[in-house]
């Protein structure tokens, strides 16, 4: 395929192999758990970038779709005993539909207005989740999901496979003609309309895809934690994802995903310093916004490739 | 009825104090300041500090907290907003980062347990057959006086007129010799000072904790969006609208459901009329 860069492909497969080898080196469930969490963050950050990085419409309510996916899978399992595997299939459909529904009225908003509308949409969902505690379990969330895989390492391989395929699929989408159109929409929407591009259809479809992958990650995460908690709908999570995307370099898909993977790993290891976690994110964001326009990961990789070639 | 009238006025007053400062910054400097809630929390903690450390009288501590936050506002503008002015989303992210850092610093310094700050006016008063805290009445009075004074300042004073001119056209203002960087600094200082004032009066009636700025900022957001970003008159009207509808919903349904009223109002406004009810 024309857009496959050989170095990129080799390095990403090597990274996959490295991650796949972890369960062979350690049987420590704690390590695997941290990696599962980190891969979920990578899916979330990559899916955020799919819409927001390409079109420049910054979504500050991504947690809405993550939470919707997690709660959909958890609800099916705890209320009807439907296997988590089906939950992982249904979750992206639920989140994707929500994405299209919310995208329909909000995507014509510009800049800060879109950011605020999505932030508020997720705040409404979070508040409703707490108010409708009879269904959602309120602060406690929905717990008691039946695990899907026999062992942690089986589940880890499932998450790793789905995560890698999702991020690769999103990257290919970004490199495709559709991705090019989305970038064009990001640069100048009016010109795209003048060129007879159905801007609204592109944006709404992409929002649905972005939301669907977020929901998929949400369901995977709920399947690991065996709970869907209201934290997954909180604006704190949305903001964390935006920070990760900024650090990774917006519009590159792999940049936010790699940044998310590393930041989540670092932060999980810093859990002992629990209260400093958000402070670290805040300081990183302050520095990144001030010093760089394209984050750290993508410029670093370009520099490295330049040195290797 | 009288209860709804008074309590609605009190919550409208607190929304208006936050929202007018917030919208002033947007209207003049074209900056969505996500650190506005952090200004609120820092204002409350500044007052706590002056009362606890120096044993200052509440009224003195309020003035000191306002002065401190005015300085903080100008500093934030100088170092975290001004250098990024050309990139609106970067300003948004920068102020967001700043608010996270401020909140976490308060959390680490003071811990998560809530603190108390003293009331300026103690004791209940009977008015229209309703018993209401004197502090609540003070809040209503302060909001009217401060916002009225701000309006006079913007329309009559020389610096106020310069601010007004900058909000209409920054380049044009520079051409007639207005130093816009000073204008932006003043606007940020006034906005932060109003957040501190609001926190110092509302804080004692609720609790003081590091994350206390979030809800007032969401409310300020709501008011400003519904009223129209950048419009002070719109903010006052929307503050009354939201303040009263929340009070009515909490009387008729429950206080929990009142929380969602302003969120839904914002979403509907953003979707139907992003420029707000009174925006341009």
- At residue A293, does pLDDT exceed 80? no
The span from the CA of A298 to the CA of A112, in Å, is: 25
Burial class (CB in 10 A: 0-12, 13-18, 19+), A276: middle
Residues in chain A closer than 8 A to B274 (CB atoms): 109, 113
Mean pLDDT for B91-112 is 87
What pLDDT, on the 0 to 100 scale, is given for residue A163? 95
Q: What percent of chain A has pLDDT over 90?
A: 39
For A28, list phi and psi in degrees, rounded to 5. -70, 115
Residue with tokens 């898909």: A253
**CA proximity to B199, closest of B111, B72, B76:** B72
CB contact under 8 A, B225 and A286: no
Candidates B88, B104, B218; nearest CB to A282: B104
Residues in chain B closer than 8 A to A116 (CB atoms): 32, 221, 225, 266, 270
The span from the CA of A183 to the CA of A197, in Å, is: 13
Average pLDDT over all residues of chain A: 88
Q: Which two tokens stand for residue B257?
A: 């459901």
CATH number at residue A102: 1.10.3470
CB contact under 8 A, B32 and A289: no
CB contact under 8 A, A289 and B88: no
Residue with tokens 């990257």: A171
For A45-49, A272-276, B145-149, B199-203, which range has the lowest pLDDT when averaged over its residues?
A272-276
More confident residue, B278 or A182: A182
For A119-128, B152-161, B194-203, B225-234, which range has the lowest pLDDT when averaged over its residues?
B225-234
Show the domain range for A111: 30-308
Mean pLDDT for B79-103 is 86
CB contact under 8 A, A275 and B94: no
B264 touches chain A (CB under 8 A): yes
The dihedral through the CA atoms of A147, A150, A153, A158 has a sign that is negative
Q: Which two tokens stand for residue A221?
A: 């995460």
**CA proximity to B276, closest of A116, A239, A212:** A116
More confident residue, A133 or A66: A66
Residues in chain B closer than 8 A to A120 (CB atoms): 221-222, 263, 266-267, 270
Candidates B84, B101, B270; nearest CB to A113: B270
Burial class (CB in 10 A: 0-12, 13-18, 19+), A265: middle
CB contact under 8 A, B100 and A285: yes
Mean pLDDT for A273-301 is 79
What pLDDT, on the 0 to 100 scale, is given for residue A1? 44
ipTM of the complex: 0.78
Apex CA B28: angle with CA B23 and CA B32, to 5°? 50
What pLDDT, on the 0 to 100 scale, is given for residue B279? 66
The span from the CA of A130 to the CA of A132, in Å, is: 6
What pLDDT, on the 0 to 100 scale, is given for residue B42? 94
Count how many pairs of residues, chain A against chain B, have C-beta atoms within 8 Å: 89
Q: What is the pLDDT of residues B196-223, one digit of tens each?
A: 999 998 888 888 888 888 888 888 888 8
What pLDDT, on the 0 to 100 scale, is given for residue A182? 92
What pLDDT, on the 0 to 100 scale, is given for residue A273? 62
Q: What percent of chain B has pLDDT over 70?
A: 99
B77 vs chain A: nearest CA distance in angstroms? 14
Q: Which two tokens stand for residue A297?
A: 């990961």
Residue with tokens 């399947």: A223
What pLDDT, on the 0 to 100 scale, is given for residue A158? 93
The rounded Cα A263 to chain-centroid distance in angstroms is: 13
B245 touches chain A (CB under 8 A): no
Helices (runs of H) and strands (runs of E) counted in chain B: 11, 2
Interface of B with A in 90-129 (CB under 8 A): 90, 92-94, 96-101, 103-105, 107-108
Mean pLDDT for B10-17 is 90
Q: Which two tokens stand for residue A215?
A: 């929901």
- At residue A3, does pLDDT exceed 60? no
What is the b/e burial string over B69-101, where b = at least 16 CB atoms within 10 angstroms of the residue's CB? bbebbbebbeebbbebbeeebbbbbbbbbbbbb
Does A3 fall in a domain?
no
The span from the CA of A200 to the CA of A159, in Å, is: 33
Does A240 fall in a domain?
yes
**CA proximity to A148, closest of A206, A219, A213, A203:** A219
What pLDDT, on the 0 to 100 scale, is given for residue A43? 96
B218 touches chain A (CB under 8 A): yes
CA distances from A211 to A65, A92, A217, B93 (A): 5, 7, 10, 22
Q: What is the pLDDT of residues B156-199, one digit of tens each?
A: 988 988 998 888 888 888 898 888 888 999 999 999 999 999 99
Domain count along chain A:
1
Q: What is the pLDDT of residues A228-241, one digit of tens each?
A: 999 899 888 898 89
- At residue A271, does pLDDT exceed 70? no
Residue with tokens 């409208």: B12
- At residue A65, does pLDDT exceed 90? yes
Q: What is the pLDDT of residues B253-275, one digit of tens each?
A: 887 788 788 788 888 888 887 77
CB contact under 8 A, A120 and B101: no
Residues in chain A closer than 8 A to B256 (CB atoms): 130-131
Q: What percent of chain A has pLDDT over 70?
A: 97
Q: What is the pLDDT of residues A128-156, one digit of tens each?
A: 898 888 888 888 888 888 888 778 888 99
What pLDDT, on the 0 to 100 scale, is given for residue A7? 79
Mean pLDDT for A270-294 is 76
What pLDDT, on the 0 to 100 scale, is given for residue A278? 75
């Amino acid at each position: 395929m024309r857009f496959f860069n050989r170095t990129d492909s080799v390095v990403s497969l090597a990274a996959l192999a490295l991650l796949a080898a972890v369960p062979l080196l350690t049987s420590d469930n704690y390590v695997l758990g941290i990696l599962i969490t980190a891969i979920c963050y990578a899916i979330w950050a990559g899916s955020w970038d799919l819409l927001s990085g390409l079109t420049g419409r910054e979504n500050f309510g991504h947690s809405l779709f993550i939470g919707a996916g997690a709660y959909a899978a958890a609800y099916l399992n705890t209320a009807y005993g439907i296997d988590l595997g089906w939950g992982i299939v249904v979750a992206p459909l639920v989140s994707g539909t929500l994405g299209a529904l919310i995208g329909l009225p909000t995507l014509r908003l510009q800049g800060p207005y879109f950011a605020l509308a999505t932030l508020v949409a997720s705040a409404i969902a979070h508040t409703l989740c707490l108010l409708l505690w009879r269904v959602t379990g309120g602060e406690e969330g929905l717990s008691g999901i039946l695990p899907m895989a026999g062992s942690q390492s089986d589940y880890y391989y499932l998450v790793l496979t789905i995560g890698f395929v999702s991020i690769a699929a999103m990257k290919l989408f970004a490199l495709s003609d559709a991705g090019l159109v989305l970038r064009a929409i990001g640069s100048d929407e009016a010109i795209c309309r003048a060129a007879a591009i159905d801007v609204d259809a592109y944006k709404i479809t992409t929002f649905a895809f972005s939301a669907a992958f977020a929901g998929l990650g949400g369901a995977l995460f709920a399947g690991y934690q065996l709970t869907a908690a209201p934290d997954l709908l909180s604006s704190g999570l949305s903001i964390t994802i935006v920070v990760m995307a900024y650090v990774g370099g917006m519009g590159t898909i792999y940049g936010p995903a790699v940044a998310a993977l590393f930041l989540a790993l670092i932060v999980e290891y810093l859990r002992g310093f629990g209260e400093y976690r958000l402070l670290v994110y805040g300081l990183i964001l302050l520095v990144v916004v001030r010093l760089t326009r394209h984050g750290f990961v993508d410029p670093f990789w370009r520099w490295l490739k330049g040195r290797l070639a | 009825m009288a209860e709804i009238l008074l309590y609605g006025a009190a919550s409208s007053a607190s929304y208006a104090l936050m929202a007018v400062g917030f919208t002033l910054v947007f209207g003049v400097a074209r900056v969505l300041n996500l650190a506005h809630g952090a200004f609120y929390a820092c204002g409350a903690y500044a007052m706590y500090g002056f009362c606890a450390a120096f044993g200052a009288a509440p009224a003195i501590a309020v003035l000191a907290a306002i002065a401190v936050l005015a300085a903080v506002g100008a500093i934030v503008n100088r170092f975290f907003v001004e250098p990024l002015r050309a990139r609106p989303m970067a300003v948004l992210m920068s102020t967001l980062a700043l608010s996270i850092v401020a909140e976490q610093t308060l959390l680490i310094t003071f811990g998560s347990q809530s603190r108390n700050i003293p009331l300026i006016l103690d004791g209940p008063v009977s008015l229209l057959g309703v018993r209401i805290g004197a502090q609540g009445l003070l809040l209503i009075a302060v909001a009217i006086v401060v916002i009225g004074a701000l309006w006079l300042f913007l329309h009559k004073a020389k610096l106020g007129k310069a601010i007004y001119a900058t909000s209409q056209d920054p380049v044009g203002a520079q051409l007639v010799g207005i130093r816009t960087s000073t204008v932006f600094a003043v606007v940020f200082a006034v906005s932060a000072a109003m957040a501190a004032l609001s926190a110092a009066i509302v804080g004692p009636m609720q609790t003081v904790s590091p994350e206390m700025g979030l809800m007032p900022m969401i409310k300020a957001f709501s008011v400003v969006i519904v009223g129209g970003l950048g419009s002070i008159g719109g903010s006052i009207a929307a503050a009354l609208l939201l303040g009263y509808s929340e009070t009515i919903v909490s009387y008729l349904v429950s206080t929990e459901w009142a929380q969602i009223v302003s969120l839904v109002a914002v979403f509907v406004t953003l979707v139907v009329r992003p420029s707000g009810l009174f925006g341009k």
